[in-house]
Amino acid sequence: MQSLAPLRAIARRTAHQSLKTSPKAQINRPFSQTVTRAGDHGTSYDPPSGWLFGVKPGEKYQKEGWETIWFWGFYGSIGLGIVAYAFKPDTSIQTWALEEARRRLEAEGILPDPDASKKE
């Protein structure tokens, strides 16, 4: 059990350090026991500019490298899915039952064979 003592001390220390927050992030929250933390957006965060999609009027929008690939990949896969759905085989139980009933009635002689008129 003594070998776990240093690990427990490290766990206590890191748990205590994660609860520390900056004074800017502390907000009066009377009904909550949780500590609020400030979000860090880093350098990739673009603040809102007020322009639609960040493009000023009169400027031309420049596509990023991934947009064309995403467009063709997304809408192309939707198109292929629609074509595959349109040409998929009919595997419904109703179609099978109707065909099976027709075969049995033809075998019993109740229903005339439709291929017999084509052979003549």
Q: Which pair of structure tokens corresponds to residue 58?
A: 């009169």
The answer to whether the Cα torsion of 96, 99, 105, 108 is positive or negative is negative
Name which residue leads in pLDDT, 118 or 21.
118
85 pLDDT band, cuts 50/70/90, is very high
Backbone Cα Rg of the chain: 35
Q: Which pair of structure tokens corresponds to residue 116?
A: 């017999």
CA distances in angstroms from 83 to 68, 74, 86, 91, listed in the order given: 22, 15, 5, 17
Name which residue leads in pLDDT, 102 or 44.
102
Residue 28: the pLDDT is 59
Name which residue leads in pLDDT, 63 or 40.
63
- Number of alpha carbons in the 13 Å side-chain half-sphere of residue 77: 5
Q: Which pair of structure tokens corresponds to residue 20?
A: 């520390």
Q: What is the tens place of the pLDDT at every residue in 21-38?
A: 555 445 555 666 666 666
109 pLDDT band, cuts 50/70/90, is confident
pLDDT exceeds cutoff 70 at 1: no
